[in-house]
């Protein structure tokens, strides 16, 4: 059986990050994706991408309703490889940091923490308040990985898609999923004979 990966999408800016991740996972076909979107994510998808939430849902293998707290991913007995929340709003970060599981998305994240499963939060906000920073510290202490969508330039991106691919690749690395989404750093090239 393929591993399952829960993908939470919240109402932070850049739902493009989730769309790229789900599209890549579908191509790689290494895991069964279980999507849960917050109410605010429905708004940001419409406002920022022009797509319908149903278009995003169609990219996942299974789409869960955020209000159905009795669904499979609400239980630790439903085995998964973990969860990524992408993008992760400061509100959902706060809920996860304080164990306030008032919908299926935050409950599924809480399950990952209690079961000691991989939980990756692609937190998107800038600048950060002390409240945000303290919540990031709290989730890190509880075992989550805070992985903000910070662009890198060592792989010489030429497009927004290159930047999205790098971020998706960094998320997949956290779950040990093989990919070739960006060229890996092999060390700076040196002129032959140059001093080390
Ligand atoms: C277009 C738009 C962009 C937003 N961007 C962010 C953001 O980048 N980070 C953030 O924490 N909240 C952002 N928000 C606010 C969240 O959507 C809001 O706090 C919401 O309650 C989050 O709920 P959720 O975590 O359940 O999705 C944005 C809202 C809108 C409408």
Confidence of residue 80 (pLDDT cuts 50, 70, 90): very high
The yes-or-no verdict on residue 123 having pLDDT over 80 is yes
| 151 sits in which H/E element | none
Confidence tier at 145 by pLDDT (50, 70, 90): very high
Nearest CA to ligand 1 atom 7: 12
The mean of the pLDDT values for the chain is: 96
Structure confidence at residue 187 (pLDDT): 92
With b for 16 or more beta-carbon neighbours within 10 A and e for fewer, the 153-168 pattern comes to eebebeeeeebbbbbb
Task: Assign 94 a pLDDT band (cuts: 50, 70, 90).
Answer: very high
**103/68 Cα distance (integer angstroms):** 8
Nearest CA to ligand 1 atom 28: 12
Q: What is the pLDDT of residues 30-43, one digit of tens each?
A: 999 999 999 999 99
Residue 59 pLDDT exceeds 80: yes
Q: What is the DSSP string of 27-44?
A: HH--EEEEEEE-HHHHHH
- Ligand 1 nearest atom to the CA of residue 41, by list position: 27
Q: Which two tokens stand for residue 108?
A: 């599924």
Query: With bands split at pLDDT 50, 70 and 90, how would you rate the model's confidence at 1?
Result: confident
Q: Is the pLDDT of residue 83 over 90?
A: yes
Whose alpha carbon is nearest atom 16 of ligand 1?
Answer: 11
In the predicted model, what is the mean pLDDT of residues 66-76? 97
Contacts of 149 (CB under 8 A, 6+ apart): 14, 17, 87, 122, 124, 167
Q: What domains can you pick out in the chain, each with its CATH number?
A: 3-174 (3.40.50.1950)
Beta-bridge mates of residue 123 = 88
Asked if residue 125 has its Cβ within 6 Å of ligand 1, the reply is yes
Asked if residue 65 has pLDDT above 80, the reply is yes
CA separation, residue 143 to residues 84, 86, 115, 130, 172 (Å): 13, 17, 10, 20, 17
Residue 192's pLDDT band, with cuts at 50, 70 and 90, is low
Helices (H) and strands (E) in the chain, counts: 7, 6
Strands in the chain per DSSP E: 3-9, 31-37, 62-64, 82-88, 118-123, 145-146
Residue 193 has pLDDT above 90, yes or no: no
Please tell me whether the peptide bond between 127 and the residue prior to it is cis, using omega within 30 degrees of 0: yes
Q: Which string of DSSP letters, residue by residue, matches 55-89?
A: HHHTTSSEEE-TT-TTSGGGSTTS--SEEEEEEE-
């Amino acid at each position: 059986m393929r591993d399952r990966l829960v993908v939470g999408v919240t109402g932070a800016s850049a739902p493009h990050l989730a769309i790229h991740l789900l599209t890549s996972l579908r191509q790689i076909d290494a895991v069964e994706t279980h999507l849960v979107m917050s109410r605010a994510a429905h708004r940001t998808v419409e406002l920022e991408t022009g797509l319908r939430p149903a278009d995003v849902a169609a990219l996942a293998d299974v789409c869960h309703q955020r209000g159905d707290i009795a669904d499979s991913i609400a239980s630790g007995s439903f085995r998964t490889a973990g969860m990524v929340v992408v993008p992760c709003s400061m509100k959902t970060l706060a809920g996860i940091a304080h164990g306030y599981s008032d919908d299926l998305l935050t409950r599924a994240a809480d399950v990952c923490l209690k079961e000691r499963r991989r939980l990756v939060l692609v937190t998107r906000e800038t600048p950060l308040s002390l409240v945000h920073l303290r919540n990031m510290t709290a989730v890190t202490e509880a075992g989550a990985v805070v992985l903000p969508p910070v662009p890198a330039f060592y792989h010489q991106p030429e497009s927004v898609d290159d930047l999205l691919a790098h971020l998706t690749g960094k998320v997949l690395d956290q779950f040990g999923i093989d990919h070739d989404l960006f060229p890996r750093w092999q060390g700076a090239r040196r002129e032959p004979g140059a001093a080390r």
